[in-house]
Amino acid sequence: MLRYVLRRLALLVPMAFIISIVVFAAMRAIPVDPGELVLGPWATAEQRELARQKLGLDQPIAVQYVRYMKQALQGDLGRSIKSGKEVSALIRDTVPNTLLLGGTALLLAYCIAIPLGVVAAVRQNTLVDQGAMGFALIGISIPNFWLGLLLVLVFAVNLRWLPATGSGTVAHLVLPAVTLGLQYTAIVARMTRSSVLEVLRQDFVRTLRAKGLRPGRIIYLHALKNAVIPVISLLGLHIGGVVGGAVIVETIFAWPGMGALLVNSIIARDYPIVQAVLTLLGVAVLLANLLADVLYAAADRRIKY
Amino acid sequence: MDAPPEPGTWNAEAIGAPFSPWRDFLSRFAANRSAMVGFVIVLTLCVMAIFAPWIALHPIAEQDLMVSLEPPLTDEYPLGTDQFGRDIFSRLVFGARVSLQVGGIVTTVSMLIGITIGCLAGYHGGRVDAVLSNLINLVYGFPLILVALLFVAVMGPGLGGAMIATGLVTWAGFARIVRGEVIALRNREFVLAARALGRGNAWIIVRHILPNIIGPVLVIASFTMAVAVIIETSLSFLGLGAQPPTPSWGSMLNEGRSVIYRAWWLATFPGIAIATLVLGFNLLGDGLRDVLDPRMRT
């Protein structure tokens, strides 16, 4: 197991470099003259050429990449074209907010979804089951940006219980976290249900039933333990998903996280920020996927690596 | 009169008639509630998209500031108007075209890529499979919206970049399933028989393997349509997808966001449209899986 984790970690390093190269190359493929972006449309050709030299853009792309990585690994990600602020400082400010939002959303999702899935499985084909699964299907089908708008409409515009945008207090966190979490509540509830149903069909459950154990004890002590493990092991995949979902949810609620920073920078064509944030989010997803595989392996001892 | 026989059970006529997989599929499909509801939703919206010019009440770009932000259920504007006085109903009808076109193109392209790579990996196995499986797993676990945003950042706002990005990620869903199915099929008797007769690999894949994996591919295609619709509307919502005056449901919601304190309808109806279409494809996919999965048969 430890060897498997170490091997995967070793593989992570080249993959992270590949992501950084892809993003770097993509940013250089943009058909916009960075000199013009920095100086505005009225700069003369000489001024632009000078700016290109100052930014090191006259060098071959490989040289540019090596220099960029050297600086990046020392914590220098360049400066924003528009505001002149250090990109690393912008990222330092936004990372905790995204972690807070994503963490709350996932916690909320798992805490609601697992009991919901268990109840639906135990009462399979009853109204409770159909209600829970209907809710889950709707949760999967509602796009998160519309859910966000609906929640704003109901709880901020009409009831005036919660603020529509911004951050700072717990009240600000409620709507974005629910918006981001609902989709995973739905997915996890569906998975928990099918996982519990599968365990309940297994031989050991029949044995427990045959020796006269009460159904409640079978379900909540023996079956649940086995059913929840594969569900929890998918947490890694959902972390990756939440990284993507946060981009949209943060934009709707003006939540000052990395996702909103990314979208605003794309719109403002502030490429140093776009490049740094996309690379970091990509590496975060790699880490989440690694976690997913490790959790999966840890959950099922029959899988050998 | 006897009660109509349960679908899939034997009855006097069925014993007489030869078994037809196509008719078998249709009867199972018709008996599956989820599949039928999804099918009806998707079909309705497709019809709406095709006949949009005849269904819409007003031209989509017709602005009339005199009727800006009219509430729904007026005689002329059943779902109200937006801040420019454009008819929301008509724009919704045309918006179906945008979502379904993007979904259709993305799904077709990613299906072709996915089937090709899945067949290569599953059929040849060995080192080819090792490389391709790693690629499939890497792409499969990657959040679509991040890749889409990378393309939009490079190519500028618009649906072109969004479609390429979505296709570049969603093929992995097809490839995973196809690879598994092909591995299960490649040593079956009918494949070995074809090989013994001297058929080439391409012939075997096209004639003997592909017809056997249509079912699972259809299921994934339905879910991919749902994903593609969500990505198109998400990007349009962020202002990075469909550009005005193209009426995307996503960009309509974005316009609704700015007047949400005055006009609830603009932030509501396009969302219902998106959720309905996505729900339709999800139901259709769920239903198709139940209908086509042999393990579900009793």
By the CB < 8 Å criterion, does A263 face chain B?
yes
**Mean of the pLDDT values across residues B249-274?**
87
- The 10s digit of each residue's pLDDT in A157-166 is 888 888 877 7
Among A20-29, A74-83, B14-23, which is the least confidently predicted range? B14-23
Contacts of A18 (CB under 8 A, 6+ apart): none
- Give B168's contacts in chain A (Cβ within 8 Å): none
**Mean of the pLDDT values across residues B227-232?**
90
pLDDT score of B1 = 45
Q: For B56-60, which contacts have Cβ atoms below 8 Å and span 24 or more sequence positions?
A: B56/B87, B56/B89, B56/B90, B56/B93, B56/B94, B57/B87, B57/B89, B57/B90, B58/B86, B58/B87, B58/B90, B59/B90, B60/B86, B60/B87, B60/B90, B60/B91, B60/B94, B60/B245, B60/B247
- Give A22's contacts in chain B (Cβ within 8 Å): 150
B143 → closest Cβ in A138, A241, A267: A241
DSSP state of B295: G
Query: Which residue on chain B is closest to A264 by alpha carbon?
Result: B238
For residue A202, the one-letter residue type is: Q
Positive/negative CA dihedral, B52, B56, B62, B65: negative
B230 → closest Cβ in A22, A143, A237: A143
Q: Is the pLDDT of residue B296 over 60?
A: no
Contacts of A135 (CB under 8 A, 6+ apart): A116, A186, A189
pLDDT score of B111 = 94
Distance between B64 CA and the closest CA of chain A, angstroms = 26
Query: Which residue on chain A is closest to B262 by alpha carbon?
Result: A157
Query: Which residue on chain A is closest to B273 by alpha carbon?
Result: A142
DSSP string, A61-88: HHHHHHHHHHHHHTT---B-TTT--BHH
Does residue A229 contact residue A186 with C-beta atoms inside 8 Å? no
Please, what is the average pLDDT of chain A? 84
By the CB < 8 Å criterion, does B259 face chain A?
no
Distance between A230 CA and the closest CA of chain B, angstroms = 17
Distance between A266 CA and the closest CA of chain B, angstroms = 6
Query: Which residue on chain A is closest to B232 by alpha carbon?
Result: A143
B260 → closest Cβ in A22, A149, A245: A149
B141 → closest Cβ in A141, A237, A248: A237
- Rounded CA-CA distance B38/A7 in Å is 44
- Give B130's contacts in chain A (Cβ within 8 Å): none
By the CB < 8 Å criterion, does B295 face chain A?
no
By the CB < 8 Å criterion, does A252 face chain B?
yes
- The 10s digit of each residue's pLDDT in A30-71 is 776 666 666 666 777 777 777 777 777 777 888 888 888 888
- The 10s digit of each residue's pLDDT in A236-286 is 778 888 888 888 899 888 899 999 999 889 888 888 898 899 899 888 888
By the CB < 8 Å criterion, does B233 face chain A?
yes
In this prediction the ipTM stands at 0.81
By the CB < 8 Å criterion, does A289 face chain B?
yes
- The 10s digit of each residue's pLDDT in B22-63 is 888 888 888 888 889 999 999 999 999 999 888 877 777 777
Query: Which residue on chain B is closest to A142 by alpha carbon?
Result: B275
By the CB < 8 Å criterion, does B237 face chain A?
yes
A146 → closest Cβ in B150, B240, B275: B275
Per the confidence metrics, is the pTM higher than 0.90? no
**Mean of the pLDDT values across residues B222-247?**
88
A285 → closest Cβ in B143, B226, B238: B143
Q: Torsions phi, psi of A86, nearest 5?
A: -70, 130
Q: For A216-220, which contacts have Cβ atoms below 8 Å and span 24 or more sequence positions?
A: A219/A118, A219/A122
